[in-house]
């Protein structure tokens, strides 16, 4: 377990709503973009591990942690504004799940601002969800409509932490508790009724060949099949991509295998950024 890192915390108001961030270390900027089921707290281990090697930035996406939701926004433009605020011209992006989707969109929208990508359990803009994912989303929506926030958070923990191939007792309870807390809090953050989320157009799925920076694709062997398929698609489609699989981890592999993951990513980044 890594010791806590103080860093510098703050928030910037973009489009009238705050985005919370924390930054520590010096050198090549490295941005950590959390999963949709989490917030920036999921990066505690990585924030501590990478800050002696990089200038590490983590932040809460809209509707997660301490970040609010404006009526009209895009995640990739939010990140550009945050980097401008901090005086960071370009960075390596490390994103997991929905955070990997944000990283891909940012790379395509602002290619000159990305030095490399680490995409974990990745989602791709424009990808059509499987029937399994559509059923999950319908179950989640039904629970939320009935006001059962704990039930909806439990459903997410079963899907994204346990995965389809394990029982809850096979996963460390502290990981399950952390994701439950983060997801349940996200359910309480208000979204404007007329919110307009601006998707990247054309979507990333149609533009993967445009990505020219080095990319490491990481996947958990126990993840939902949809995400294993998207990881393999990225590895096959991005010209300078490598793929690694953590066979005994599911979707949130950065929480399950932090030591193994951190060491592998550090070796990779040191090789591509100095090679």
Q: At 16, which CATH number?
A: 3.40.50.1820
User: What span, in angstroms and rounded, lies between the C-alpha atoms of 112 and 30?
Assistant: 15
Shared-domain flag, residues 141 and 266: no
- DSSP line for 229-253: HHHHHHHHHSTTEEEEEETT--TTH
Shared-domain flag, residues 109 and 244: yes
What pLDDT is stored for residue 1 in this prediction? 43
Ranges under pLDDT 50 in the chain: 1-3
Indicate the number of domains in the chain: 2
Say if 149 falls within a structural domain. yes
CB neighbour burial string for 99-131, b if at least 16 within 10 angstroms, e if fewer: bbbbbbbbbbbeeebbbbbbbbbbbbbebeeee
What pLDDT is stored for residue 274 in this prediction? 75
Q: 147, 162, 188 — which closes off a domain?
A: 188
The percentage of the chain sitting over the pLDDT mark of 90, rounded to a whole number, equals: 96
Say if 152 falls within a structural domain. yes
Neighbouring residues of 164: CB distance < 8 A, sequence distance ≥ 6: 132, 222, 224, 225
Say if 104 falls within a structural domain. yes
What is the chain's alpha carbon radius of gyration, rounded to the nearest angstrom?
17
Shared-domain flag, residues 209 and 248: yes
Q: 188, 218, 234 — which closes off a domain?
A: 188
- 33 forms beta bridges with 59, 95
Say if 166 falls within a structural domain. yes
What pLDDT is stored for residue 216 in this prediction? 98
Which domain does 12 fall in, by range?
A: 8-128+194-274
Say if 1 falls within a structural domain. no
User: What span, in angstroms and rounded, lies between the C-alpha atoms of 235 and 5?
Assistant: 33
Q: Say what the pTM is.
A: 0.96
Say if 239 falls within a structural domain. yes
Shared-domain flag, residues 49 and 174: no
Cis peptide bond prior to 159, omega within 30° of 0: no
Shared-domain flag, residues 182 and 212: no
Say if 90 falls within a structural domain. yes
Q: Tell whether the torsion through CA atoms of 196, 202, 205 and 207 is positive or negative.
A: negative
What pLDDT is stored for residue 3 in this prediction? 43
Shared-domain flag, residues 15 and 64: yes
Shared-domain flag, residues 21 and 120: yes
Q: Which stretches of 80-166 are assigned E, i.e. beta strand?
A: 91-96, 114-120
Shared-domain flag, residues 171 and 249: no
What pLDDT is stored for residue 169 in this prediction? 97
- 271, two tokens: 């090789």
Shared-domain flag, residues 47 and 157: no
Shared-domain flag, residues 141 and 69: no
Shared-domain flag, residues 206 and 258: yes
Helix, strand, coil tally for the chain in percent (to 5): 45, 20, 35
């Amino acid at each position: 377990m890594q010791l806590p890192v103080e860093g510098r915390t703050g928030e910037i108001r973009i489009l009238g709503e705050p985005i919370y961030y924390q930054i520590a270390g010096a050198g090549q900027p490295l941005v950590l973009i959390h999963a949709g089921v989490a917030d920036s707290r999921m990066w505690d281990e990585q924030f501590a591990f990478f800050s002696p090697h990089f200038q590490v930035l983590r932040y809460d996406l809209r509707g997660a942690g301490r970040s609010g939701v404006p009526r009209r926004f895009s995640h990739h433009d939010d990140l550009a504004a945050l980097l401008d605020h901090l005086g960071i011209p370009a960075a390596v992006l490390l994103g997991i799940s929905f955070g990997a989707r944000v990283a891909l969109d940012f790379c395509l929208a602002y290619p000159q601002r990305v030095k490399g990508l680490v995409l974990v359990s990745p989602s791709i803009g424009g990808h059509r969800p499987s029937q399994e994912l559509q059923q999950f989303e319908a179950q989640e929506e039904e629970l939320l409509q009935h006001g059962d926030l704990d039930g909806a958070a439990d459903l997410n923990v079963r899907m994204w932490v346990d995965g389809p191939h394990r029982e809850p007792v096979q996963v460390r309870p502290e990981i399950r508790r952390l994701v439950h807390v983060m997801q349940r809090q996200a359910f309480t953050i208000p979204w404007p009724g007329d919110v307009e989320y601006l998707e990247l157009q054309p979507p990333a799925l149609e533009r993967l060949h445009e990505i020219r920076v080095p990319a490491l694709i990481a996947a958990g062997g126990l993840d939902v099949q949809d995400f294993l398929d998207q990881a393999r698609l990225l590895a096959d489609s991005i010209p300078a991509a490598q793929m690694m699989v953590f066979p005994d981890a599911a979707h949130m592999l950065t929480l399950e295998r932090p030591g193994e993951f951190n060491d592998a990513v550090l070796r990779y980044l040191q090789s591509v950024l100095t090679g």
